[in-house]
Chains A and B, each alone.
Chain A
Amino acid sequence: MDKKFYAGCDIGSTTGKAVILDDEGIVASWIVPREVDPEETAVIALSHAMRESGLISGTEELAYLVGTGYGRAEIPFADENISEITCHARGVFLCDPSIKTIVDIGGQDVKGIAMGDDGTVMEFAMNDKCAAGTGRFFEAMSRIFRMDLAEFSSLSLSAKRAIPVTSQCSVFAESEVISLLARKNPPCEIAAGIQAAVAKRCFTLLRRVGVRPRVTVTGGCAKNRGLVEELTRVLGAPVAPLPVDPQLVGALGAASIARARCMEKAHA
């Protein structure tokens, strides 16, 4: 019997992600920066992932493809599109079924997701149209410090105390941080204050859906160690690490749903 491949393509606001699965597990994955056209982002991400697999040369060789992320409706070769919330829950459940609560911090939104014991979404909450606490927010903050996100994260971790940053709005927070820097406050303490402000915001969001251990963080901002440590402190419980790149979880969930769809069809 021919080997079957299933793909998930997560076209977000800052990056495009693709994951290819077979019946055993992950075959290949890829992350690319977003292009202007979401369709082009999807084509590039998937082409790279297919090339990395060394087994697939075209989308027609994929048994099923599920699109997710904000560009999900623009993926021309997708068999179906599914919401990010469902895909993240599915991806996390596949990685670690003991996890019950997810904070997904993407480029333009923050989501709190509560999962049932079978991995289904029980409740979810999202930030409204506001960039506070999102990837965009961190990009803006790290720009003020003339650093990339990894350097900004390390800077915050070097602080002994945090200077509170009280503005919720990204634009006002930027002004507040510039003022704090102008007053010669230690940059690391301001950076730690930024992480604390976002962690508290995530905590509020999680309280709306109910926090059940274990908790994990997905999305690009899960790579911000300073934020994850601050979130651990605010939650009073450790944030569970995932065995895959947390930025890929949405695409992984989408690929897992693609595989399940094929199985459903086979048994129908």
Chain B
Amino acid sequence: MIEQVREFARMAGNPLAYAEHLMKKDGKPVFGYFCSYTPEEIIHAAGLHPFRLPGTGGATPHADEHLRSCSCELIRETLEQALEGRFGFLHGVVFPRSCDAIRRLSDIWRLRAKIRYHFDIDLPARLDGEGSREFMIDALKKFRRDLETAAKTCITDSAMDHAFDLYNSIRSSLKNLYLLRSANPGLLSGGDLHSIVRACMIMERCELDIALKSLFEWLKAKPASPPDGKKRVVVAGILCDHPDFYALVERCGGTVVWDDLCTGSRYFEGIITEDINSIASLARRYIDGPVCPSDLSSPGSRGEKLVRMAKEHSARGVVFLSLKYCESIPNGFSVVRETLEKSGVPSIMVEVDRDLSAQDETEERLQRFLEGI
């Protein structure tokens, strides 16, 4: 790992320690969230620190009392930490109700986790459906009011504008990093880039903005690495909570040059433009921007988006990453795959366990896929 990434990786590797350190240092209350449909900008504007709740790996005996063992691993792991009291430092928590698993998590969390402030953000059933924009605006307005209660403050429009500027800057820097790496994958390993994105959801955002800009300038000045013969692929899915996944792809002969993940491009795509009022601008980013493949969009439009993404980044195929027991990617996969096939973009779906060290079948399938594209 290159030195300039080590600090990002350290934070991504131990997010709870970082959050507790930050609280002690700045005294800023930490507000946990669970999905990229969380309007971090409002949390920041309220003077709180947005912190994406991480998974951990390991057994989930407490969570298994409440959730079936075949529920999404990430959901169970997060609940486990909450029930163990490891999120005791959180001032509050917010759950955008984007999939069934998150809805159930929120319901149980509210009753058992004993975090002071607990909010849900109701999302439209379909982001491209009729009335979804108005629905989203109302949901965001309600969240703003909820947060004003939690933060005991009035969230001013000027604080919102400042947050938009900051997040636009962070997202632009991240996108620039992605573009730089897409043009020259040898600059940074996929795992390193993943650590950077994960750190973005944890780190103090003003410091992050500076750190990203500095990293980008440093990488931009590096000479291009010679081609290594690895096959360029796009990874698509809900999220990647497996830093080792990128190394697995690289070991199998590929390199991830772009992604459609909420721990990736969906986090930074969509800049907020303020030609309308602030909440409407924010809603527009969600409605018109990248859509999560959970329940919020049609498989047909997802396929077309991935074809465009693959062509734009000269990717030879798409690897769908499905978390164990997550239903969102397998459901509708055949339709997405058909759309890709019609455009000559091969694809494969791999379901991964938390521990990637003994994924023989996944490695076999992935290697064969990469050999064939």
Query: Chain A interface (Cβ within 8 Å of chain B)?
Result: 13, 70, 73, 82-86, 108-109, 120-121, 124, 126-129
Separation of A135 and B365 alpha carbons in the complex (Å):
19
Q: Which residues of B have CB within 8 Å of A120?
A: 372
Separation of A127 and B367 alpha carbons in the complex (Å):
16
Q: Which residues of B have CB within 8 Å of A124?
A: 365, 368
Q: Once the chains bind, are A126 and B372 in contact (CB under 8 Å)?
A: no
Q: Once the chains bind, are A86 and B361 in contact (CB under 8 Å)?
A: no
A-B residue pairs in contact (CB < 8 Å), sample of 28: A70-B360, A70-B364, A82-B367, A83-B364, A83-B368, A83-B371, A84-B364, A84-B368, A85-B368, A86-B368, A86-B371, A86-B372, A108-B360, A108-B361, A109-B360, A109-B361, A120-B372, A121-B368, A121-B372, A124-B365, A124-B368, A126-B361, A126-B364, A126-B365, A127-B361, A128-B351, A129-B353, A129-B361
Q: Once the chains bind, are A82 and B371 in contact (CB under 8 Å)?
A: yes
Separation of A108 and B372 alpha carbons in the complex (Å):
23
Is B86 interfacial (CB-CB < 8 Å)?
no
Interface string of B337-373 (1 = CB under 8 A from A): 0000000000000010100000011001101100110
Separation of A265 and B270 alpha carbons in the complex (Å):
49
Separation of A83 and B364 alpha carbons in the complex (Å):
6
Is B10 interfacial (CB-CB < 8 Å)?
no
Q: Once the chains bind, are A85 and B251 in contact (CB under 8 Å)?
A: no
**Closest chain B residue to A71, Cβ basis:** B360
Q: Which of A73, A82, A121, A128 contacts B361 (CB 8 A)?
A: A128
Query: Chain B interface (Cβ within 8 Å of chain A)?
Result: 251, 351, 353, 360-361, 364-365, 367-368, 371-372
Separation of A70 and B360 alpha carbons in the complex (Å):
6
Question: Chain A at the B interface: mostly helix, strand, loop or mixed?
Answer: loop
**Closest chain A residue to B324, Cβ basis:** A129
Q: Which residues of B have CB within 8 Å of A84?
A: 364, 368
Separation of A108 and B360 alpha carbons in the complex (Å):
10
Given the known interface contacts A73-B251, A121-B372, the answer about A85 and B364 at a Cβ–Cβ threshold of 8 Å is yes
Separation of A108 and B358 alpha carbons in the complex (Å):
13
Separation of A181 and B364 alpha carbons in the complex (Å):
37
How distant is A265 from chain B, measured CB to nearest CB, in Å? 16
How distant is A8 from chain B, measured CB to nearest CB, in Å? 15
Q: Which residues of A have CB within 8 Å of B360?
A: 13, 70, 108-109
Q: Once the chains bind, are A83 and B367 in contact (CB under 8 Å)?
A: yes
Q: Which residues of B have CB within 8 Å of A83?
A: 364, 367-368, 371
Q: Which residues of A have CB within 8 Å of B372?
A: 86, 120-121
How distant is B340 from chain A, measured CB to nearest CB, in Å? 14
How distant is B85 from chain A, measured CB to nearest CB, in Å? 33
How distant is A17 from chain B, measured CB to nearest CB, in Å? 16
Q: Which residues of B have CB within 8 Å of A82?
A: 367, 371
Separation of A84 and B363 alpha carbons in the complex (Å):
11
Q: Which residues of B have CB within 8 Å of A128?
A: 351, 361
**Closest chain A residue to B372, Cβ basis:** A121
Q: Which residues of A have CB within 8 Å of B353?
A: 129
Separation of A84 and B361 alpha carbons in the complex (Å):
10
Separation of A55 and B42 alpha carbons in the complex (Å):
75
Q: Which residues of A have CB within 8 Å of B368?
A: 83-86, 121, 124
**Closest chain A residue to B360, Cβ basis:** A70
**Closest chain A residue to B252, Cβ basis:** A83
How distant is B370 from chain A, measured CB to nearest CB, in Å? 9
Separation of A108 and B365 alpha carbons in the complex (Å):
14
How distant is A113 from chain B, measured CB to nearest CB, in Å? 9
Separation of A116 and B371 alpha carbons in the complex (Å):
15
How distant is A186 from chain B, measured CB to nearest CB, in Å? 36
How distant is B141 from chain A, measured CB to nearest CB, in Å? 44
How distant is B31 from chain A, measured CB to nearest CB, in Å? 37
Separation of A124 and B368 alpha carbons in the complex (Å):
9
Known pairs A84-B368, A126-B361, A128-B361; list 5 more (Cβ under 8 Å): A73-B251, A82-B367, A84-B364, A86-B372, A127-B361
Separation of A78 and B371 alpha carbons in the complex (Å):
17
Q: Which residues of B have CB within 8 Å of A86?
A: 368, 371-372
How distant is A203 from chain B, measured CB to nearest CB, in Å? 19
How distant is B261 from chain A, measured CB to nearest CB, in Å? 22
Separation of A158 and B360 alpha carbons in the complex (Å):
36
How distant is A176 from chain B, measured CB to nearest CB, in Å? 21
Q: Which residues of A have CB within 8 Å of B371?
A: 82-83, 86
Q: Which residues of B have CB within 8 Å of A13?
A: 360
Q: Which residues of B have CB within 8 Å of A109?
A: 360-361, 364
How distant is A65 from chain B, measured CB to nearest CB, in Å? 17
Separation of A127 and B372 alpha carbons in the complex (Å):
19
Separation of A108 and B363 alpha carbons in the complex (Å):
14
Separation of A73 and B367 alpha carbons in the complex (Å):
12
Q: Which residues of A have CB within 8 Å of B365?
A: 85, 124, 126
Separation of A126 and B368 alpha carbons in the complex (Å):
11
How distant is B50 from chain A, measured CB to nearest CB, in Å? 35
**Closest chain B residue to A127, Cβ basis:** B361
Separation of A73 and B253 alpha carbons in the complex (Å):
12
How distant is B318 from chain A, measured CB to nearest CB, in Å? 16
Max count, chain A CB within 10 A of own CB: residue among B351, B365, B368: B368
